[in-house]
Amino acid sequence: MSTSAKGGYHHGDLRAALLSTAMRMLESGETFSLRAIARNAGVSPTAPYRHFPDRNALESALAVQGFGDLEHDLTDGRDLPTSVADLAEFGVTYVDFAMRRPALFRLMFGNPCDNSDDERVRAANALHELLEQALANVVPESDTTALACAGWSLAHGLAFLHLDGKLPADSPEEVADRVRSAFLAMTDIPKERAPRLKPPAARHPGQRRRGTDR
């Protein structure tokens, strides 16, 4: 059964066509609404509502696709990392994705997580689990959950620092070198335990601190 006004989409193809149109509009900087997407996709103004009750639902679907694309970039043609240098390349790929697809990246992470959208939650969790697996492969006896959080924070922070112009991004090579350097620098921190500070001297009840009159 045809579901389009003039595009000839068949049932089951409409959702994919709408997402493809929305992604193109998002990444080209066009302001979109469900009606604008329908118009660009060549379907009736009411057709998108069969799959997306509102714009938030459409944006969540785009975010799910973005998480899948990012995970694909991180895993395509490579095994799980076996060294810190490999982890650094994970970071390079992550930041490169953000730089190539900034509008999608901001959509994926710029809004609060919608915990009512099971598909989006699963997509975000899959990315985090991939990072945990990568850390477990390199440092199997560590707290991989904490390390994954730290590694994600480093890559994510570097991505937004570049996107927001806080770090120069004159070329992809420059950005990649900075990300590698940051990851390798974090793993080169001396492991010696820092000296413990002496506790402050005990004061008698009612004794005032020096330099205060309270």
Q: Are 66 and 26 in contact (CB under 8 A)?
A: no
pLDDT score of 42: 92
For 74-89, give the DSSP string.
HHTT-PPP-SHHHHHH
**CATH value of 56-186 in 3.30.360.10, 1.10.357.10, 1.25.40.10, 1.20.210.10:** 1.10.357.10
Question: 177 forms bridges with which residues in the sheet?
Answer: none
pLDDT beyond 60 at 7: no
Residues 6+ apart with CB under 8 A from 47: 3, 4, 5, 14, 18, 38, 41
205: its two tokens = 């009840």
Q: List the chain domain ranges.
A: 1-53, 56-186
At residue 109, the pLDDT reads 87
Tell me, what's the pLDDT at 209? 46
Closest CA to 50 of 65, 39, 34: 34
| pLDDT at residue 88 in the model | 94
d(CA 89, CA 83): 10
Residue 103 — very low, low, confident or very high, per pLDDT cuts 50/70/90? very high
Mean pLDDT of the chain: 83
For residues 163 and 106, give the distance between their C-alpha atoms in angstroms, rounded to a whole number. 9
